[in-house]
Amino acid sequence: MAHWIELGKLSDIPRLGSRIVSTAHGDIAVFRTAEDRVYALRDRCPHRGGPLSQGIVFGEHVACPLHDWVVGLADGCAQAPDEGCTPSYPVRVENGFVYLGLDERVRGGVTILTGTGTRR
Ligand code: FES
For the CA atoms of 24, 92, 18, 119, the dihedral, rounded to the nearest 10 degrees, stands at: 160
User: Using 50, 70 and 90 to split pLDDT, how confident is the model at 120?
Assistant: very low
Ligand 1 center–CA 81 separation, angstroms: 14
How many angstroms separate the CA atoms of 14 and 28, rounded? 16
Q: How many residues does the chain have?
A: 120
Query: What's the domain range around 82?
Result: 3-114
Q: If 0-12 CB within 10 Å is exposed, 13-18 middle and 19+ buried, where does residue 120 land?
A: exposed
User: Using 50, 70 and 90 to split pLDDT, how confident is the model at 115?
Assistant: low
Kindly report the CATH number assigned to the domain that includes residue 59.
2.102.10.10
* CB half-sphere exposure, 76, CA atoms < 13 A: 21
Q: Tell me if 25 is assigned to some domain.
A: yes
Q: Tell me if 119 is assigned to some domain.
A: no
Q: Tell me if 74 is assigned to some domain.
A: yes
Q: Tell me if 20 is assigned to some domain.
A: yes
Q: Does residue 48's CB lie within 6 angstroms of at least one atom of ligand 1? A: yes
pLDDT digits (tens, 9 = 90+) for 44-63: 999 999 999 999 999 999 99
Q: Tell me if 76 is assigned to some domain.
A: yes
pLDDT digits (tens, 9 = 90+) for 15-41: 999 999 998 778 999 999 999 999 999
| Structural domain count of the chain | 1
Ligand 1 center–CA 51 separation, angstroms: 8
Which of 42, 44, 47 to probe ligand 1 with, by most ligand atoms within 8 A of CB? 47
Ligand 1 atom nearest 68 alpha carbon = 3
DSSP 78: B
Q: Tell me if 32 is assigned to some domain.
A: yes
Q: Tell me if 120 is assigned to some domain.
A: no
pTM to 2 decimal places: 0.88
How many angstroms separate the CA atoms of 10 and 100, rounded? 12
Q: Tell me if 19 is assigned to some domain.
A: yes
